Amino acid sequence: MDNILLETHDLVKTFGATRAVDGLNLQVGAGEMVGLVGPDGAGKTTAMRLLCGALKPTSGRVRVAGYDLPQMVEKAREHIGYLAQAFSLYGDLTVAENLEFFGEVFDIPDKELRARSQELLRFAGLERFADRPAIALSGGMQKKLGLATALVHRPKVLLLDEPTGGVDPVAREEFWHLLIGLLRGGSAVLVSTPYMDEAMRFNRVFFMNKGRALTDGTPRGLIGLLDGHVLELAAEPQMQARAIAGADPDVEDVNAFGDRLHLRVRDAAGPMSRLPGKLAEANISLIHLKLVTPSLEDVFMQLLETSQHGASQPAIARS
């Protein structure tokens, strides 16, 4: 990869006995959007804070835009735009005033700042709302303003910590589209998200759990890692169908999606030939049984199972 703007090497951060980030190796190049995907507590936010220099690593290296952290943190910060999960806007300041405030934080001369603010208002589609107090913006518009404030100093590296939380799908689509524009300008973007369905949107994905990257790759590459297949079963009544499918020796996992069941199987041929008969015997009407493309969640679940045998969550009796 040429022109790497963000790089970590065996990055570790411990808090007491907790290894919040536990040996993370990450590279993000110019024009690339990379996702840190994992549940709450996976270490995503700690990783972001280490990358922007807000936290010091326990061990390992961080390099941003060619500067080593923490030694050259001041230089590095000139190139980092960081949008925290609970970022602060000044609610009683207008949209334009918020941009000016963050411009002053970065010591941008007045004249340049005025032009930059206009540019960012256009970019974020907030021109019409320039004089509205930030508190009166919708959630989606606040996120866009937050992004704009993080861009005031034209950073090459963007760190966005769960930027789409609480934002509706239409506003979310617009937010993602803004990022495409930044990537075209050569920015490197690192985004964290707890939502598996968002993981498809990144050039590359790091699956995080317990401070570690379980694996990384392009979304399609990760889907290719699934050891086995996913079958979709629609049958009525579903609870009985589920019990029968779950008892099949080749079915490793059953996940219900409304009127469909997704069966993760090592081998597809066995269940495909056995299940229709078993369902018919039990008077369950089969609507369809077919191979479907696995989702990233299927892959993540399998990786979790193979990486941690002692489950941290309670095992509920599954009928």
- Binding footprint of other proteins on the chain (CB under 8 A): 31, 33, 38-42, 138-140, 165-173, 176-177, 180-181, 183-184, 194-197, 200-203, 209, 218-220, 234, 238-239, 255-260, 292-293, 297, 300-301, 304, 311-314, 316, 318-319
Q: Which residue, 273 or 312, has its beta carbon nearer to other proteins?
A: 312
* CA–CA gap between residue 211 and residue 193 (Å, rounded): 14
Q: Which residue, 273 or 319, has its beta carbon nearer to other proteins?
A: 319
Least Å distance, CB 287 to other proteins, is 9
**Rounded alpha-carbon distances, angstroms, from residue 261 to 170, 233, 237, 256:** 28, 5, 12, 4
Q: Which residue, 113 or 279, has its beta carbon nearer to other proteins?
A: 279
Least Å distance, CB 312 to other proteins, is 8
* CA–CA gap between residue 312 and residue 237 (Å, rounded): 32
Query: Which tokens belong to 50?
Result: 């280490």
DSSP structure class, residue 94:
B
Least Å distance, CB 102 to other proteins, is 25
Which residue spans within the chain are E strands per DSSP?
4-15, 18-29, 33-37, 59-64, 67-69, 80-83, 157-161, 188-193, 204-209, 212-217, 229-236, 251-257, 260-265, 285-292
Amino acid identity of 201? R
Least Å distance, CB 209 to other proteins, is 8
Q: Which residue, 114 or 260, has its beta carbon nearer to other proteins?
A: 260
Contacts of 281 (CB under 8 A, 6+ apart): none
Q: Which residue, 110 or 310, has its beta carbon nearer to other proteins?
A: 310
How far does Cα 112 stand from its chain's mean position?
34
Counting Cα atoms < 13 Å in the Cβ hemisphere of 87 gives 27
Q: Which residue, 16 or 258, has its beta carbon nearer to other proteins?
A: 258
Query: Which tokens belong to 127?
Result: 């021109």
- What is the length of the chain? 319
Least Å distance, CB 183 to other proteins, is 6
Least Å distance, CB 72 to other proteins, is 30
Tell me how crowded residue 22 is: count the other CB atoms within 10 A of its CB. 19
Least Å distance, CB 114 to other proteins, is 27
Short-list 238, 224, 235, CA closest to 293: 224
Q: Which residue, 165 or 270, has its beta carbon nearer to other proteins?
A: 165
Q: Which residue, 59 or 138, has its beta carbon nearer to other proteins?
A: 138
The two most distant CA atoms of the chain are separated, in Å, by 79
